[in-house]
Amino acid sequence: MTPTELEVPIKILIVDDHPLIRDGLKTRLAARSTWTICGEAEMPTEAIRLVREMAPTVVIIDLSLKDGNGLELIKQIAAMNNAPRMLVCSMHDENLYAQRAIHAGALGFLHKQRASDQIVEAIERVLEGKLFVSDEIMQRVLKRAVRGAESNPIEELTDRELQVFEAIGSGMSVSRIGATLFSSPKTVETYRDRIKRKLNLRNAAELLRYAVKWTTEHAGG
């Protein structure tokens, strides 16, 4: 869909489990008379239902949601017919998550700390069908493509392994992680073993310490 083919008004769906964040985004976007907030959701199931019912033009998605994960939600929406354009707005580490979000199907990543200043610009870029990431991330991607720069070991984790890693760092038990990801405890243990190998960790205690430290420093809401 080209910019000239976009319907007016532009319908925006906000998917975030923090009411204050949703209110802030609505206030900031109210300045555009042709933009309207067509719905709000706190969890993936609500978001999927509203995408089908409201047919939004753009969906703004956080990566940490009630009863779900933003990356998985992006993949589900991207697989729909006539999928809306998607923009991630999150506190998560942009260095680790921007490319993952785009690979999943989003067109941009905006850190929440910059949202008040850049959310309008980010949505305009997405509406044009263009990518929106920070200059820092763009330079990082270009340098890696040209020079083959080394990656952080965490970047080698798959999306699902990263979800398990963060859940471990948040203090969740194997059974709770399994319930959250709709996986069996045995499957979660398999992910744990893969994570330990990729991060060169010797045992569960080292994995827990590393996960807690990393999640505290990097993961956000």
- The span from the CA of 201 to the CA of 193, in Å, is 9
The answer to whether residues 18 and 113 belong to one domain is: yes
Determine the pLDDT at residue 9.
86
3-state helix, strand, coil in the chain (%, to 5): 55, 15, 30
C-beta separation of 125 from 143 below 8 A: no
The answer to whether residues 137 and 157 belong to one domain is: no
88 belongs to a structural domain: yes
The answer to whether residues 160 and 89 belong to one domain is: no
State the CATH number of the domain containing residue 201. Answer: 1.10.10.10
Single out the residue in 111, 142, 173 at which a domain terminates. Answer: 142
The answer to whether residues 16 and 35 belong to one domain is: yes
The answer to whether residues 14 and 48 belong to one domain is: yes
Residue 3 DSSP code: G
Determine the pLDDT at residue 2.
47
Determine the pLDDT at residue 4.
45
The answer to whether residues 37 and 126 belong to one domain is: yes
- The span from the CA of 176 to the CA of 188, in Å, is 10
Sign of CA dihedral 178, 17, 114, 80: positive
Determine the pLDDT at residue 137.
80
Range of the domain at 181: 153-218
Average pLDDT by stretches of 10, the chain with 221 residues: 61 96 94 93 96 97 89 96 96 88 95 92 95 83 59 84 90 89 91 93 91 78 51
79 belongs to a structural domain: yes
Single out the residue in 94, 109, 142 at which a domain terminates. Answer: 142
Q: How many domains does the chain have?
A: 2
The answer to whether residues 29 and 119 belong to one domain is: yes
Determine the pLDDT at residue 132.
95
The distance in angstroms from the start CA to the end CA of the chain is 31
